[in-house]
Amino acid sequence: MFARVVFLYLIEYGTEQYYYTNGNRDVLFNGNTYKAVPIKHGDLENNGDEITKSKCELTITNQCAFIEKMLQQYDAFLTTIKVMRYYLSTGDVESEFIGTLSTIEFSVKDASLSFVNILYETQRMAMRLVYQRQCPYALYGSQCRAIKQDHEISTFASHWTRIDNYRLQYSQTLPDNITGGIAKLPNGAVNFIRGVDAENRIITLSQPVYESSLNVENNRFLTLYHGCDRSIEMCQNRFNNSDNYGGFVLLPLDNPTTKNPAGGSNDTISANDLKNYLNEQLGD
């Protein structure tokens, strides 16, 4: 059976922290009391996958310390939220969303807050865009646009051994091409596959894995998805998705401002030499 779940909300407003839960009673977790208040969040974007969530819409009663503080004296403090899924029967916790406050609206009884995930928020590309040859997009996310279901590997059932918080071992041979991919656990939690030890049949995941999330209804089915090394070659050959590639493949491998393509001994180059060098890189 699924463990009974409530959500925990950690809100940081400047230097102050507020702890809330949508449960029927207060929850003590990690030395902090999460107060039971009328609070809820809407469906998270992109089918709820942890790795591609970009927005969180939160509704909370005005009769709580956090909102009362904002109504009394609003300051332009950085406000962040961490949403966690908490299993009451086991005490296990899984991170659902982390983001910063974007907008807030007040009504008579409650407040509506919108939080964005800075790492993957498409409307804030300039905040994270780095000019690099490799693709910066989240695999299978809204900008990558590769269809996850098309790269699903046959589900691997049973015989998974939890070595520690992050590592799982399979009794049989692991499939190829899963490094950098995704593992979907029996309880629906989604994790990046950070590393693969094919010889010892071990995968290392991006977040802790607990027995309660691994062993659901007496099965250990994991669904695996192909990984990507973020190169244009893999984007094209494995995913046929080069039209959506986010890297800058024409960036020169060598810095043209410090290397003289004409072979001179000086460390600087002329504008004409730089133009010729870039034309060579473009294949003109």
Instruction: List the chain pLDDT tens, one digit each, 284 residues.
Output: 345 899 999 999 878 899 999 999 999 999 999 999 999 998 775 444 544 567 889 999 989 999 888 776 655 567 889 999 999 888 888 888 888 888 888 888 889 999 887 655 444 444 445 567 788 887 888 788 899 889 998 778 777 888 988 899 998 899 999 998 998 888 777 888 988 999 999 999 887 887 777 777 667 788 899 999 889 999 999 999 999 998 888 776 665 555 554 445 445 556 666 667 667 666 65
CB half-sphere exposure, 115, CA atoms < 13 A: 27
SS (H, E, C) 188-240: CCEEEEEEEECCCCEEEECCCCCHHHHCECCECCEEEECCCCCCHHHHHHCCC
Cβ atoms of residues 82 and 13 within 8 Å: no
Give the per-residue pLDDT at 13.
Answer: 86
Phi, psi of 56 (to 5 degrees): -140, 120
Give the per-residue pLDDT at 47.
Answer: 45
Give the per-residue pLDDT at 34.
Answer: 97
Give the per-residue pLDDT at 269.
Answer: 54
State pTM to two decimals: 0.51
